[in-house]
Structure 1
Amino acid sequence: MSSDENISRERLEAAPGKVYTETIQEPTYEFKREHYFSPLIETNKAWAVMLVDTGIIDEDVGAQLLDAVADLEEAGPEELGEYNPNLEYFYSHMEYQLNKRIGEEVAGNINIGRTRPEPLARIVERERLLDVLDRVVSLRATLLDLAEREIKTVMPQWTHYQHAQVSTVAHYLLGIADSLERDTQRLMNAYDTVNECTLGCGALAGTSYDLDRQLIADLLGFDGYKENTIDCVSGGDHHMEPASAMANMMVTLSRFCQDLYTWHTWEFDFVEISDEYSGSSSLMPQKKNPYPFEYVRGRAAYATAYMSSVHETLHNTNFQDIKDVEENAVHPLFDAFDEVDRSLKLLDGTVGSAEFNAEQMEELAAEGFASCSELAAKIDRQTDLTYRTAHRIVGDLVGRALERGLDATEVDADLVNESATEITGDMLDIDDEFVQSALDPREFVEAHDIPGGPAPREVRRMIQDRRASLDEDSVYINRRRETLIDASDKLADRVETIRS
């Protein structure tokens, strides 16, 4: 082993062995070269600038360092070459390249007061979180557009998967949008946790060099630095929070897909997605398969499994700089980002292509006794009977109707009075119009004009309110991106000033 390659294993007399290299070191190196090359380049720039600004190194040394980093950046990650067991770590491969360019006596300064666990995962995670947030916001906007289009499209809804009450497609879609709005907040909270800088923590106790940790945080676009230096190298919540937020969201999307999947059947015939998002059968020529709903449900399972992997990787481990935190928990998290991003993109397009069968939905809503609670409410309001008694009367009449093969559109005042006489001994002062208006699904929707209800006026108000929330969340995302861009520009300016 040459002295130039002996960067990190001074305590050890041999390079990593063949098995250790093949199973651990080389795969880890390739993962980091793929994901961490640019973050480490930026981190090295910021660290060199800070060392110059604090007077820890001379400006001419800093300029040489930054020249070498710039040259390596231009060459790209391929310049690091295949894994070299003598160099052991990804970071050491980059330091070796800097040594080749300017010599160890200059390049060696890049690690003053610094240990290898950089905030590289945090830099990647915050970018991936912003991408996911963009996707969620887009899907929410699609749902609101659909809701606005379907405000008057009445449909039955279910409780315990049994015909329950009447609502509208818009009302249902707003329920999904509201859940995704909460998921958006969880993702933004996760971003806040991720976006803390850990540089300057040393191995765990900081350093005796007079570093400027806030400057480093500013140059890299972090909100600030994580203060406790043990927490910097030991904490894993910046992996767990994004994983949990995404899993939570994917469960919502999976349930949404399950509804649409059911409604897309021939038996329901409530909704149909575009052919562009559908699959066919190699045997059955009549088939139009809504595969995206199956794919998203499956990837929701992946997301929850990845979340579990992150949590299980970190549980029962020491609170210290440990591979479980630094590396092992990152892999399932990055996989989760990939699956979630694809799922959101797919579902946004699929849902945007959906066409709802208003006639079929209204017909089933009218026939299926889904408005019976309103009939009981009208009886309660027009008579001296309690709601519970009215409830018993209506329950009895539904049983009578079903026994006679009648649906809700065929119920009249006479049938109601049969039940009223059975339950109370007296008839009610009602007519057919009273009954039919109570059981009409459109009148049911109009009557339920309470905050959060399905009435068109209230749904319009909710859509307007949700669009305002969507705008606020978009502002948050854009502001976060602008902060990163501004920090990158600031860092580039400082680098250029030192190099010139």
Structure 2
Amino acid sequence: MHNPAQNDTTKFPDPVYKETVLKPLFDEAKMHFAEGFKAIDRAHLVMLHETGILTADQAGKIAEALAAIDAEVDPAALEYTGEVEDFFFLIEKELKARLGPDLGGRLHTARSRNDIDHTLFKLGLRAHIDVAIEKATALLAAMIDTAEREKATLIVAYTHGQPAQPTTFGHYLSAAIEVLSRDIARLFEARKTVDLSPMGAAAITTSGFPIDRHLMAELLGFSAPLQNSYSCIAAVDYITGTYSALELLFLHLGRLIQDFQVWTSFEVGQLYVPNALVQISSIMPQKRNPVPIEHMRHLASQTVGRAQTVLTIMHNTPFTDMNDSEGETQAMGYQAFDAGYRVLDLMASLIAAVSINGERVAANLDRSCITITELADSLVRREQLSFRQAHEIAADVARAVVAAGGALASDGFGTFRKAFAAHAGRESTLDEAAFREIVSPEYFVRVRARYGGPAEEPLGNAIAGYRETLEGFRGAAGKQAAHLTDATRIRNERFNRLRGKA
């Protein structure tokens, strides 16, 4: 016979609800949000006093109790018992135990878990974005330094998986630098939305108390309050904007990583990874496995996948405060950042250390005839042919050299003379020395001196511009860090003033 006492549905919390929802949320809060709770409580207390909502005596006693809780309660050591609903109510319980139910309950005047929660999440995201910006900027610096070092180092550039044209490693990295710079700019833009304070929105509509939302924003280091109070608890674009920017960053880096994987293969071999970043096989003694590249690839994919998961969770959610965007989703999103940090650190180290295998590049250049485009271009400029006619001559030369297994510079001139005469109906004015120069990779790069090209002048100008962008990012990040430091100092000073410890 069923005993109703065995399943008491009147007492909160239900045991299953406690274990499946409340305890995990409590554990996430104590791990990720305890410091944020502390900052919000202190700032809110200062605001309540400075707006006259609490007297100096009331605020001073609450400040002393909060300081005592900070000294005596270690969030990491707490175990969820179900006596209180969540971490917020635990702090309130501690206040009431020290101050009594009346004074202990006054700290929560004119606020709600709604605005507290979204402020907590913004504080957490802001910190993670700042670390991502710092690490991405370090990677950008490593890319720029390597591009400068390797600005004249020839490589084979590929399209559709096939050798296409010669360029330089510096030119290739410069393309990646521009994408990374835009990705860092997207992180800064995402941070602007995160950096708007929800505090003071309360549940939905602000409060009848004379609160100062701008003061709260200042004390917590936000740039300003988010204006519309409904938006403070409903608009999760601070989450979607952040994880969209994060996803794009690692989606784009993943493409670079794929190239590095191909370039280090035995068959291509144009990118050399030093021994410090190479593992050996446990059975095959000849193997050099550049496995850091594989680790970057799968960690970048993990970052993209986790960021995309956060975005998917936000899909088709109601435009209001809802649990979908809250603690567990926030904590899961931090895993995307954690995996991404590893990629950024490892890639910065790898790019600073790699070099180009010039012998393999030269061999692949010879085998692939990829300077032939410049032969066609030069025939148009020097021999006054149409591009289509010049292209047909160059194609005949390339086919013959590849079929013979030769090299364009050393084996192509004879074929060129015959092809030119057959298509143009006359002899070419180019002698063998001119032909050799035209089909050399150095000449190919040198004459591509247009804006954005790989030649010395445009590439040098580009790298100088990238350094200006880098310094701009560093300056912006420095200002943000200084702003947070100042806000923390001001908040603590004014909190301690309430305690008589100014």
Into which bin does the TM-score normalised by the smaller protein fall? over 0.9
1:248 and 2:248 aligned: yes
Which 4+ runs in 1 deviate beyond 4 A?
none
| Deviation of 1:364 (Å) | 2.2
> Which blocks of at least 5 consecutive residues in structure 1 are unaligned?
1-11
| Deviation of 1:415 (Å) | 1.3
Name the CA distance, whole Å, in 1 between partners of 2:157 and 2:46: 61
Provide the residue aligned with 1:99 in structure 2.
96
SS of aligned partner of 2:164? strand
| Cα contact 1:234–1:325 (8 A) shared by 2 | no
Provide the residue aligned with 2:456 in structure 1.
456
Provide the residue aligned with 2:231 in structure 1.
231
Match of 1:25 among 22, 26, 50: 22
Q: How does 1:3-402 map to 2 (within 5 A)?
A: 13-78=10-75, 81-117=78-114, 118=116, 119-402=119-402
Provide the residue aligned with 1:428 in structure 2.
428
Name the CA distance, whole Å, in 1 between partners of 2:350 and 2:433: 42
SS of aligned partner of 2:326? helix
Moved more, 308-317 or 51-60: 308-317
| Deviation of 1:260 (Å) | 1.4
Name the CA distance, whole Å, in 1 between partners of 2:124 and 2:434: 63
Per-residue deviation, residues 439-468 of structure 1 (Å, max 9, x unmatched): 100111111111111112222221111111
| Deviation of 1:103 (Å) | 2.3
Give the letter for the 1:68 counterpart. Answer: A
SS of aligned partner of 2:163? strand
Moved more, 357-366 or 239-248: 357-366
Name the CA distance, whole Å, in 2 between partners of 1:343 and 1:402: 40
| Deviation of 1:51 (Å) | 0.2
SS of aligned partner of 2:165? strand
Name the CA distance, whole Å, in 2 between partners of 1:473 and 1:416: 52
Provide the residue aligned with 2:405 in structure 1.
405
| Cα contact 2:263–2:269 (8 A) shared by 1 | yes
Give the letter for the 1:27 counterpart. Answer: P
Name the CA distance, whole Å, in 1 between partners of 2:282 and 2:405: 41
| Cα contact 2:264–2:270 (8 A) shared by 1 | yes
Provide the residue aligned with 2:416 in structure 1.
416
Give the letter for the 1:51 counterpart. Answer: L
| Cα contact 2:368–2:402 (8 A) shared by 1 | no
SS of aligned partner of 2:33? helix
Name the CA distance, whole Å, in 2 between partners of 1:409 and 1:74: 78
Q: How does 1:470-485 map to 2 (within 5 A)?
A: 470-485=470-485
Query: Are residues 200 and 358 of structure 1, via their aligned partners in 2, closer, same or farther at CA, if it must alter by over 3 Å?
Result: same
Name the CA distance, whole Å, in 2 between partners of 1:75 and 1:255: 50
SS of aligned partner of 1:349? helix
Moved more, 304-313 or 263-272: 263-272
Per-residue deviation, residues 356-375 of structure 1 (Å, max 9, x unmatched): 21232233224421111111
Name the CA distance, whole Å, in 1 between partners of 2:391 and 2:30: 68
| Deviation of 1:408 (Å) | 1.6
Query: Are residues 46 and 13 of structure 1, via their aligned partners in 2, closer, same or farther at CA, if it must alter by over 3 Å?
Result: farther
SS of aligned partner of 1:156? strand
Per-residue deviation, residues 1-33 of structure 1 (Å, max 9, x unmatched): xxxxxxxxxxx9521111111111101110111
Name the CA distance, whole Å, in 1 between partners of 2:357 and 2:98: 68
SS of aligned partner of 2:157? strand
Query: Are residues 405 and 267 of structure 1, via their aligned partners in 2, closer, same or farther at CA, if it must alter by over 3 Å?
Result: closer
Moved more, 421-430 or 34-43: 421-430
Percent identity, aligned pairs only? 27
Name the CA distance, whole Å, in 1 between partners of 2:356 and 2:46: 59
SS of aligned partner of 2:304? helix
> Which blocks of at least 5 consecutive residues in structure 2 are unaligned?
1-8
Query: Are residues 362 and 460 of structure 1, via their aligned partners in 2, closer, same or farther at CA, if it must alter by over 3 Å?
Result: farther
Name the CA distance, whole Å, in 1 between partners of 2:363 and 2:303: 38
Name the CA distance, whole Å, in 1 between partners of 2:185 and 2:174: 16
| Deviation of 1:80 (Å) | 7.2
| Deviation of 1:115 (Å) | 0.7
Query: Are residues 71 and 143 of structure 1, via their aligned partners in 2, closer, same or farther at CA, if it must alter by over 3 Å?
Result: same
| Cα contact 1:153–1:362 (8 A) shared by 2 | no
Query: Are residues 324 and 215 of structure 1, via their aligned partners in 2, closer, same or farther at CA, if it must alter by over 3 Å?
Result: same
| Deviation of 1:82 (Å) | 1.1
Give the letter for the 1:397 counterpart. Answer: V
Query: Are residues 75 and 273 of structure 1, via their aligned partners in 2, closer, same or farther at CA, if it must alter by over 3 Å?
Result: farther
Per-residue deviation, residues 111-138 of structure 1 (Å, max 9, x unmatched): 1111113200110111111111110111
Moved more, 38-47 or 426-435: 426-435
**Please, what TM-score do these two structures have when normalized by structure 2?**
0.94
